[in-house]
Chain A
Amino acid sequence: MMVHNLISTILITGENIGVTVSLAVIFGGLAWLMYRSIKGREVDRRVIFLFIFVAVATPIIFTITFEFKATPIVRALYDKIESLPENSTVLLSYDFDPAMAPEVQPMANALTRHCLAKGHKIVYMCLFATGQGQLERTFREVIRPEFADKVDGIDYVNLGYKAGNEGVLNVIITDFQKMFPTDVNTVPYDSIPIFNNIKSCKDLDFIVSIGGGRPGIKEWILFVGDPGDIPIAAGVAAVVAPQLYPYYPNQLLGLLGGVKGAAEYENTLKDNYPRFENSDTPAIKMMGPQTLAHIVIMLFIIIGNILYFREKRLGKHK
């Protein structure tokens, strides 16, 4: 039964024959490498690269996807946005560069979809110079095609990038205008309707920092969240997520960690908002390659340990 579930999950979508053949090649090859390792043969680095390539490429070519539930830490962020009353103001800070984008851009896009669908207003800004380019991506992929009725300055505003790292945060916690006298299109702060009742970060209802580097979520917590008692959540690359657990759940309301966190958020959004049924879900698509790559890595670790114990045993015999 379990095996049946396992196989049927792999084959939820996709071209069955292609998937079966590809998986047979991957796992058959790994079984053969395992047999070789028992005989004491090392695996060449290029063979490992080849297996990882096939493991990543197969789910992309045959669109293997998985179903999963949101973990409590992801659900907490989703529920917070759900629980905010309509017309709340949410700040999304794009603190990342293109290298980190495959993991965190899907989070940024999903959060934008969620906030705008709920009728919240969004203030965009970035602490990374490259964040502004990533912001444009959200405008191109989400806002313009899916929320054409939303108006710049009323439903959302783009403040862009400002140099100064935590120095920027230190100022906007008391006065936004001092640091951002205009938005990215040089519209003066005073004439942007979204800022009618907003003087500083303390007037915001919720802040989400998306990124994983420095400056990033830690700076947001230390310089804005804690001193201003403002609810904060984050979406970060998988390698950074473990470092943020000490802040959860008191200083950090919720956390999306890596592709899995993004995929859980996209899944929850799709389940609860039928309008997003056909929206692009890059994180869900990426979970296929990530899952297979993880399994291949684990099997290579096992092969490495078989070799190690074999050598150790032979060493003892000598």
Chain B
Amino acid sequence: MKRFVPLTITFFVGTLLIFSVFIPPMETLGENFTLFFDIIAVFAFFLGGGNLIRVHFTKISRKKEDWPFSFVTIFGFLFMLAAGLFKIGNPGDIASSVTAPDSLFEMVYRAVFVPLGSTMYALLAFFVASASYRAFRAKNREATLLLIAAFIILLGSTPFGTMLTSWVPELMSVLQIPNLAVWIMSSPNLAGQRAILIGIGLGVVSISLRLILGLERTYLGDDGA
């Protein structure tokens, strides 16, 4: 019974959703199931929020490593939650947009969250440079090919690429760096990406069928035995 119920629900819903794509009268049913999914997705936020508080409270109470950071996490979470829920400083009423201009939520988002996010992303430039210096070495034929392609793409994405090969006659314009970069992206890269996409597609179909038919049971929380 413990396995029979979830397996039956999976089989029923999975089959129904497949049929709803191919049988027009069943379209509305599929749509309603998607709406149920969206409602469940909203409840995932409650679960996520509750879990976040539980994990960090445990960390603080047991004084685990870096526990003071958990204070910051919980404070930030509760502060933003209150600002958004009660629309603090919001020029409109309680029903107005959570990101209305001059609301506390929008102000903190703009003044704290945006700069922090951008800073984290900007740090990538430093690590990419350091990693490229250490790892990008022509150790064998494949690595050399990768290195050449990377150089062309890097140059092609800057105006220097255009300038360096602007002397190449129009008849041989394919050898100009920006055109070579486009060729790499739209031929070898395209072929590789398509192969990956087709592989993923086939994998999704196969795993979906296994789930619907009850052959794949790891989602039940044990090894499915």
Contacts and interface: CB of A to CB of B under 8 A. Distances in A.
A135 B99 contact: yes
Nearest to B39: A164
A50 to B, nearest CB: 10
By secondary structure, the A interface counts as helix
Given A162-B38, A301-B133, A295 B158 contact: yes
A109 to B, nearest CB: 14
B16 to A, nearest CB: 14
B145 to A, nearest CB: 14
A66 interface: yes
B151 interface: yes
Q: Is chain B's interface secondary structure helix, strand, loop, or mixed overall?
A: helix
Interface stretch (A85-93, A112-120, A179-187, A202-210): A179-187
Contact of A298 (B101, B109, B154): B154
Given A52-B125, A136-B106, A242-B189, A101 B114 contact: yes
Interface of A: 2, 5-6, 9, 43, 45, 48-49, 51-53, 56, 66-68, 71, 97-102, 130, 132-133, 135-137, 139-140, 158, 160, 162-165, 167-168, 170-171, 174-175, 178-179, 184-186, 238, 241-243, 245-246, 248, 258, 260, 287, 290-291, 293-298, 300-301, 303-305, 308-309
Nearest to A301: B136
B41 A163 contact: yes
A132 B100 CA distance: 10
B189 A245 contact: yes
B158 A291 contact: yes
B8 interface: no
| Contact-residue size bin, chain B (C-beta under 8 Å from the other chain) | 35 or more
Contacts of B113: 98, 130, 133
Given A5-B166, A174-B31, A246-B197, A49 B96 contact: no
Given A132-B99, A174-B31, A101 B41 contact: no
Given A2-B163, A71-B178, A170-B31, 9 more contacts: A49-B130, A133-B113, A136-B100, A139-B101, A163-B41, A164-B34, A296-B129, A304-B137, A305-B137
B97 A242 contact: no
A2 B167 contact: yes
B132 A297 contact: yes
A159 B26 CA distance: 28
- 8 pairs of A and B residues whose beta carbons are closest in the complex: A98-B117, A164-B38, A99-B117, A291-B158, A66-B159, A98-B114, A300-B133, A184-B97
B54 interface: no
Contact of A48 (B92, B114, B130, B160): B130
B10 interface: no
Given A48-B129, A133-B106, A133-B114, A308 B137 contact: yes
Nearest to A248: B186
B159 A68 contact: yes
A304 B133 contact: yes
Contacts of A139: 101
Given A168-B38, A185-B96, A99 B120 contact: yes
Nearest to B105: A133
Nearest to A182: B95
A175 to B, nearest CB: 7
Contacts of A290: 157-158
Nearest to A243: B193
6 contacts: A136-B110, A160-B99, A165-B41, A248-B186, A297-B132, A298-B155
